[in-house]
Chain A
Amino acid sequence: MRPPEALGHVAEEKPSAVELEPPPPGVPKSPRAIVWARRRRSASRIWRMYRRNKMGMAGLFILAFFIVVAAAAPLIAGEEALKATCECNGAPFSPPSWEFPFGTDNFGRSVLALTVWGSRISLTVGLLATVISMVIGSTIGIVAGYYGRWPETILMRLTDWFLVIPFLPLAIVLASILGQSMSVIILVIGVTSWPSDARIVRAQVLSVKTRPYVERAQALGASPWHLITRHILPNVGPLILANTILLIAIAILSETTLAFLGLGDPLTISWGRVLEFAFNAGAAGSGQWWWLLPPGLAIVFVVLAFTMCGFALDEIVNPKLRRR
């Protein structure tokens, strides 16, 4: 027969609770310690996965190299080397030599110094502009995705509007109104790149919002703030991060473009500006390749590095992309 009494074995003998051995020593007991333990484990897990990704590691090395160079700029070439009137300058338009490994520009300034110091501006602008763009874009994306209904409609139409604004004309207009400075460049880039972030974030928020654990937290009585910060952001965050890194690459390129077109701050040196000088002085026609190549290659490598890191992170963070 099949009655439960015969299965009384099942009901009584096996304990109905899930029993394990007592916890090993070192298991943290306080809530804060637990949160930190989780964060550490999560971070080390991501790092381990990232390490295995060759493309990501290559990108990381290149980036590290450029960051070190940018930070160590004063050690590589004194700041006075940027001044046209510096005594350290050599003969104008001279090709690479021992004294000037990258040659000199029209003022006799070391192109090496220009490139090294230029990296600071390019990287900084790229980073700051992206941060602005990410903050605006993510906030709008989260608010639109979470609240839905008419806030979403309004915000997304706004996003579409900004998406359509052509980058260059806007930059020119803003530069002529606000004057040419680093802040204007950062502003322009920030203001034109946030829409793509907003869209991606909103899509992700929509998908996370409907997951059962969010509903459970709602049923527990969580406030929207709690839901957004504790559940939605942690699940959207990695995607935002991966996307942001890719955005930095675009921002650097944008800055280069603007500076190249003469919209940049006349008082600061960035790679774009170096290229602007070079083109205006006819370097391309006169065969002064040493002036064009270093900043150009630097841009290419940095953008490549950010892109590779971004892709690698995206693979880790986006489960659909992980190669089985």
Chain B
Amino acid sequence: MSLLSVRDLNVTYRTQGGPVPAVRGVSFDIEKGEVLGLAGESGCGKSTVVNAILRLVPRGTDVNGGILLNGEDVLGMKPGRLRAVRWTQASVVFQGAMHALNPVQRIGDQIAEAIVIHGRAGEREALVRVGGLLEQVGLPPRSLEHYPHELSGGQKQRVMIAMALACSPDLVIADEPTTALDVMVQAQVLQLLKALQRELGLAMLFITHDLSVLVEVSDRLAIMYAGKIVEEGDSRAVFDAPKHPYSQALAAAFPTIGDDRFRHKPSGLGGDPPDPQAIPSGCPFHPRCPLVFDACPTIVPELYQAGAGRRAACLLVEGALVDAPGTAE
């Protein structure tokens, strides 16, 4: 049984301007100890997926589909059970996490808060555990006395990771954890995450727009566009040889230094990712796709087989020819 199983997730926000379908049918599984990377650009819905898993979406938002955490249906949980599950089974390192620290509270107390809330320990023992957590993330234990403004960006991010580990969850969801950091600090934090993941046997859902980071950190990779997954498979394979034209464009934006084929040859797409309220017909990528042909605006592609353990939602993929008749080029 997978640790996390998401089936056909649909999330629609309700706004003054009408319903906004941010996630339209996303499915994936994460096994114990596995790292899945979720990549995509602004507006593709990846942050929404994160929020939906622990039901952290605004009230009134439509969430449909199946989310099973350790076999339990998250969407059907009663509030009490949900609160108990949050942080103890799955925790989140949010985007802009560095700004999520209370500036007038010592960081030790903030980390301890999670432990105390879940009744794992009294306040005294919680602080002892906090010391251990800080060491695990590479900070000196006495930094629990510090206030957030006394720490640097990288150190604050480590605190957020310590917080996420406070209740020994099985799954850690990291939403753009390194985006605002310098390259060197980013590398340190990634190294830390990799080490922790191996040591503690954590499962991770790692979300970012930076594909190259994902290749380092994750076992498998899924690329989202306009609320759907358009390609998934082993991360190295997907990065080196993407099958979906969007994945190819995205991958091409992360050149290999030293590889002459990238020298003086920037490649990219025109236009913008589509507005969720105005998604193009058929394949949502077709207006920007360099390989578009006549069937693309009419057929909504599914995730077709595209090689061993690979799937891609493009009519040009070999699996598609089998599943979607009438796409003969």
Note whether A and B contact each other (Cβ less than 8 A). yes
Q: Encode B6-29 as 1/0 by CB contact (under 8 A) with A.
A: 000000000110000000000000
B240, B252, B288, B290: the one within 8 Å of A4 (CB): B252
Contact partners of B116 in chain A: CB under 8 A: none
Contact partners of B261 in chain A: CB under 8 A: 3-5
A110 to chain B, nearest CB (A): 51
Cα-based distance from A2 to B212 in the complex (angstroms): 13
10 more contacts with CB within 8 A, not counting A7-B290, A324-B16, are A2-B239, A2-B242, A4-B252, A4-B262, A9-B290, A9-B291, A10-B249, A14-B290, A15-B270, A324-B15
* Any A CB within 8 A of the CB of B268: yes
5 closest Cβ contacts across the A-B interface? A9-B290, A3-B261, A10-B290, A4-B265, A10-B267
Cα-based distance from A13 to B292 in the complex (angstroms): 11
Q: Encode B256-290 as 1/0 by CB contact (under 8 A) with A.
A: 00010110010111100000000000000000101
B280 to chain A, nearest CB (A): 16
Cα-based distance from A4 to B256 in the complex (angstroms): 11
Cα-based distance from A69 to B28 in the complex (angstroms): 71
A52 to chain B, nearest CB (A): 12
Say yes or no: A1-B241 contact (C-beta < 8 A), given A11-B265, A14-B270, A18-B270: yes
- The answer to whether B265 and A2 have CB atoms under 8 Å apart is no
Contact partners of B288 in chain A: CB under 8 A: 14
* Any A CB within 8 A of the CB of B197: no
Kindly identify, within residues 101 to 153 of chain B, every residue whose CB is under 8 Å from any CB belonging to chain A.
Answer: none
Kindly identify, within residues 1 to 50 of chain A, every residue whose CB is under 8 Å from any CB belonging to chain B.
Answer: 1-7, 9-11, 13-16, 18
Contact partners of B267 in chain A: CB under 8 A: 4, 7, 10-11
Contact partners of A3 in chain B: CB under 8 A: 259, 261
List B residues at the A interface (Cβ < 8 Å): 15-16, 239-242, 245, 248-249, 251-252, 259, 261-262, 265, 267-270, 288, 290-291
Contact partners of A13 in chain B: CB under 8 A: 290
Contact partners of B270 in chain A: CB under 8 A: 14-16, 18
Contact partners of B252 in chain A: CB under 8 A: 2, 4, 7, 10
Contact partners of B248 in chain A: CB under 8 A: 2, 6-7, 10
B276 to chain A, nearest CB (A): 16
- The answer to whether A10 and B251 have CB atoms under 8 Å apart is no
Say yes or no: A10-B269 contact (C-beta < 8 A), given A1-B241, A2-B239, A2-B241: yes
Contact partners of A16 in chain B: CB under 8 A: 270
B316 to chain A, nearest CB (A): 11
Chain A: which residue is nearest B264 at the CB level? A4
List A residues at the B interface (Cβ < 8 Å): 1-7, 9-11, 13-16, 18, 324
A40 to chain B, nearest CB (A): 25
- The answer to whether A7 and B262 have CB atoms under 8 Å apart is no
Cα-based distance from A14 to B292 in the complex (angstroms): 11
A48 to chain B, nearest CB (A): 16
A66 to chain B, nearest CB (A): 34
A6, A10, A18: the one within 8 Å of B268 (CB): A10
Chain B: which residue is nearest A16 at the CB level? B270
Chain A: which residue is nearest B271 at the CB level? A18
Cα-based distance from A324 to B13 in the complex (angstroms): 13
Cα-based distance from A3 to B262 in the complex (angstroms): 7
Chain A: which residue is nearest B263 at the CB level? A4
Say yes or no: A2-B290 contact (C-beta < 8 A), given A11-B265, A11-B267: no
Chain A: which residue is nearest B261 at the CB level? A3
Cα-based distance from A236 to B288 in the complex (angstroms): 39
Contact partners of B249 in chain A: CB under 8 A: 7, 10
Chain B: which residue is nearest A3 at the CB level? B261
Chain A: which residue is nearest B265 at the CB level? A4
Cα-based distance from A15 to B249 in the complex (angstroms): 15
Chain B: which residue is nearest A324 at the CB level? B16
Contact partners of A324 in chain B: CB under 8 A: 15-16
Cα-based distance from A10 to B291 in the complex (angstroms): 8
Chain A: which residue is nearest B256 at the CB level? A2
Contact partners of B259 in chain A: CB under 8 A: 3
Contact partners of A10 in chain B: CB under 8 A: 245, 248-249, 252, 267-269, 290
Cα-based distance from A324 to B267 in the complex (angstroms): 39
Contact partners of B291 in chain A: CB under 8 A: 9
Cα-based distance from A13 to B269 in the complex (angstroms): 11
Cα-based distance from A14 to B290 in the complex (angstroms): 6
Contact partners of A18 in chain B: CB under 8 A: 270
Contact partners of B265 in chain A: CB under 8 A: 4, 11
- The answer to whether A2 and B240 have CB atoms under 8 Å apart is yes
The contact sample of 18 A-B pairs, CB cut-off 8 A, is: A1-B240, A2-B241, A2-B248, A2-B251, A3-B259, A3-B261, A4-B267, A5-B261, A7-B248, A7-B290, A9-B245, A9-B290, A10-B248, A10-B268, A10-B269, A11-B267, A14-B270, A16-B270
